[in-house]
Structure 1
Amino acid sequence: MRRGWHVTATAIAVVIGLLGFQGVPVRAQLLGIAPTWLSFTGEIDPILRHALDAAAPGELVESVVVFDQYPSALALATVRTTGVQVLPFRMLPMVGVRGTAVQILGLVGLPGVRSIHHNRQLDYFLNQSVPLIGADRVWTELGVTGRGVGVAVIDSGIDGTHPDLPFGQKVIQNVKVGPDLFGAGPIVVENLANTDTTSGHGTHVASTAAGTGAALAGKYRGVAIGANLVGLGAGEALFVLTALEAFDWVLTNRDTYGIRVISNSWGTSGPFSPNDPINVASKMAHDAGLVVVFAAGNDGPGQNTLNPFCVAPWVICVAAGLKDGQTLADFSSRGIPGDPLYHPTITAPGADIVAARASTGIVIDTFFAVDLINLGTDAVSYAAASGTSMATPHVSGTVALMLEANPALTPDQIKSTLEGSATPMPGYEEYQVGAGYLNAFQAVTVALMLAWNKDGLAVPKTAMLHPMARNALGI
């Protein structure tokens, strides 16, 4: 499906790499501010400034222009007068542009422009972990599996040929986004069985959230075994514009596929800004009733290393813990002590997580020899990986369980319930682990209890609830 670009913009980007496979974060350095910027009262991405300063004459640069509201036809026409190529969105109040440094500088000061950001590249940051958080008890004792809840996974893609993730059954839609958003081909291609043809990261993440475990008779099942998956695949390299296209597609199609959760095991480094186009998109998704979950990042153990996309107060930020349920992984990014925003929401299993191996996952296959030693013949269908990428789908799957239990819950209620039902982690502070370790059983129990209260039905005994959950409910 293609929406026409109307004139040009290329990608110099900051790569969103596998948060599950730790890489070198891309950090921008402001080399200079051209006088053209000085009269602009909106926000200019320092990485874009650097890219424009460094661009050769005639070299094309891709960026994102964020408006105060969805741009009118007149606003789009005004943007095109600068000579840039324009990529409009269906729902998001922004456009992608490709043009020379001179052309992009011509966008500065246009009416209604809120910010301009570079199309940087981003980073992609189970049999033991599912019982650890109590998800198996949710299935057996509460009868909740996430059925009917759609989980969108924005990642490298999903291999719908894997027995745990059958396309058309578990993966109800699989979309390939890009890669050349400014080229002649389609921007998105739907109904593909396998979109994870180079990485394997997205397949691993998706099966942790909701995989069936069918390849080995249920041995490695995901958290929400009854939930539906929708894949938004960008391949091995995810850029800002690709991620925005994925958010735009979800906002456009959420009712068709029953999408209630967006899982994001990727990010970047640097400070948080509410004007960043990714944060604008996640806020719009939140306001539309979608629960947005982001990985905290793999830049720990230092302070102030959080993925800036997970700092937003409207998203759920996931740190990675060991499978003992009480220890934070050394690599998990930390926030700032005492800061009201810079901290994870919750910690979930993120070390040595076993989940589906994509049949075409070149990156995930890098560790095949080690998996063969540790997993034996299981390694043919499954891989072990560590990172906040692996922790994030545990939370996304838990959210799907909660929404089956109580579909009326809002994103903010989901977040506060996860926090209130978390298991404390003694010896750690909020800036490191958030509210504590994920407890899916308690979170879903609270979700059911809230549903019963709302409908005037009998409230279950509170003795089974975690003390923090009882406190959160005032009982």
Structure 2
Amino acid sequence: YEGLKATFGTFLAVAAGINYVTDLALAHPESRFVISMSLGALVPIDASPELREAIDRAIAAGVVVVAAAGNAGTDGMAAPGSYAPVISVGASGWASYTEKYGYNGEWYVDGELTGGWWLQDVPEDNVYVSYITDFSGREKPSLGWVQELDVVAPGSWIVGPYPVGPGQSHLPWWSKGKGYGVGGQYYFVGGTSMATPHVSGVVALILQANPNLTPAEVEAIIRDAADPLPFKGEAKVFNIFTHEFELITWGYDGLNAVGYGLLQADTAVELAMACCSVTL
């Protein structure tokens, strides 16, 4: 279900989408449902009682709700991601974008392929080369409302399908100007909106491994499986617009930008299999 048809919308529209999925879940108790929301606003969840009620109703029906932490950086987390019962997702980056580990990484452009292609093998146990993007929403208690960050996932220059016309591709700096010239195009974007579907996909794997889990148990598994990141850190990251390295820091202001750490799919599925009553 697509709740919003444009780049903006209202909490009432979001609530309507959530209620639609909840109705499906109630009508099909033999199935499990996951809501993935790459959206939000820098306001408390109580700014929209309808949205909060819709989320509470969904979770009570066994629907797992995942939402972006927002791109406000040190200004705080966006609702509904900041709402505690929701699995909230911040954005991380890693080695290939940093000066310390070589900004070319293992990326390359294969000019022999039609339109070109970019490949990368993300190393396992890569916490030591991960960083928190400067735009990723942090817990900011001074805003006066409760905010809870669960995990971070890749959200720095993620590639995905995007319906743009010729010449509109947002090409990464390492592509040397080569894009996808045939048929549909792909778009490189950074944001917690890109990080969120990573977690939603892992939630689906968790529920496939153990469909008896409650939303609260799924959230606990996502947290427990995460690889902890340092509360404070820094990285020199290549800016594709200025073509210069910029120093990015997190945690030195006392704001929690890492949550429980970096998403780990394999560990999460293993925990799901070991948890509670598993029926396969």
User: Normalising to structure 1: TM-score of the pair?
Assistant: 0.42
| Contact kept? 2:89, 2:192, Cα under 8 Å | yes
Task: Tell which deviates more after alignment, 430-439 or 440-449.
Answer: 430-439
| Contact kept? 1:274, 1:312, Cα under 8 Å | no
**What residue in structure 2 maps to residue 343 of structure 1?**
148
Q: CA deviation digits over 1:360-393, x for unaligned, max 9?
A: x57xx88515359728344753211110000000
| Contact kept? 2:169, 2:185, Cα under 8 Å | no
Distance 1:372 1:329 in 2: 18
**What residue in structure 2 maps to residue 296 of structure 1?**
69
Alignment partner for residue 272 of structure 2, among 435, 447, 466? 447
CA gap 1:274/1:416 in 2 versus in 1, 3 angstroms: farther
**What residue in structure 2 maps to residue 212 of structure 1?**
none
**What residue in structure 2 maps to residue 388 of structure 1?**
192
How much does 1:395 deviate? 0.4
Instruction: Write the letter of the residue equivalent to 1:283.
Output: D
Sequence identity (%): 31
**What residue in structure 2 maps to residue 234 of structure 1?**
5
Higher relative contact order (CA 8 A, sep 6+): 2
How much does 1:280 deviate? 1.5
How much does 1:244 deviate? 2.2
Instruction: Write the letter of the residue equivalent to 1:400.
Output: A
How much does 1:340 deviate? 9.8
Kindly report the root-mean-square deviation, in angstroms, between the aligned alpha carbons of the 2 structures.
3.0
Distance 1:455 1:390 in 2: 31
CA gap 1:445/1:419 in 2 versus in 1, 3 angstroms: same
Where does the alignment leave 5 or more consecutive residues of structure 2 unmatched? 96-126, 233-250
Give the secondary structure class of the aligned counterpart of 1:432. Answer: coil
Instruction: Write the letter of the residue equivalent to 1:439.
Output: Q
How much does 1:312 deviate? 1.5
Alignment partner for residue 413 of structure 1, among 217, 222, 226? 217
CA gap 1:357/1:233 in 2 versus in 1, 3 angstroms: same
Alignment partner for residue 306 of structure 1, among 77, 93, 97? 77
**What residue in structure 1 maps to residue 178 of structure 2?**
376
Q: CA deviation digits over 1:446-465, x for unaligned, max 9?
A: 101125xx3599xxxxxxxx
Instruction: Write the letter of the residue equivalent to 2:225.
Output: S
How much does 1:236 deviate? 3.2
| Contact kept? 2:3, 2:13, Cα under 8 Å | no
**What residue in structure 1 maps to residue 51 of structure 2?**
278
CA gap 1:383/1:276 in 2 versus in 1, 3 angstroms: same
Where does the alignment leave 5 or more consecutive residues of structure 1 unmatched? 1-229, 458-475
Q: CA deviation digits over 1:135-190, x for unaligned, max 9?
A: xxxxxxxxxxxxxxxxxxxxxxxxxxxxxxxxxxxxxxxxxxxxxxxxxxxxxxxx
Distance 1:455 1:240 in 2: 36
CA gap 1:312/1:236 in 2 versus in 1, 3 angstroms: closer
How much does 1:289 deviate? 0.5
Distance 2:23 2:134 in 1: 39
Q: Based on CA coordinates, which of the two structures has the bigger radius of gyration?
A: 1
How much does 1:279 deviate? 1.6
CA gap 1:340/1:266 in 2 versus in 1, 3 angstroms: closer
Distance 1:349 1:314 in 2: 22
Q: CA deviation digits over 1:62-87, x for unaligned, max 9?
A: xxxxxxxxxxxxxxxxxxxxxxxxxx
**What residue in structure 2 maps to residue 63 of structure 1?**
none
| Contact kept? 2:151, 2:226, Cα under 8 Å | yes
Give the secondary structure class of the aligned counterpart of 2:36. Answer: strand
Distance 2:62 2:279 in 1: 24
CA gap 1:366/1:414 in 2 versus in 1, 3 angstroms: farther
Aligned length: 220
User: Normalising to structure 2: TM-score of the pair?
Assistant: 0.69
Give the secondary structure class of the aligned counterpart of 2:42. Answer: coil
CA gap 1:298/1:366 in 2 versus in 1, 3 angstroms: farther
Distance 1:408 1:274 in 2: 33
Alignment partner for residue 37 of structure 2, among 264, 270, 278? 264
| Contact kept? 1:335, 1:432, Cα under 8 Å | yes
How much does 1:310 deviate? 1.5
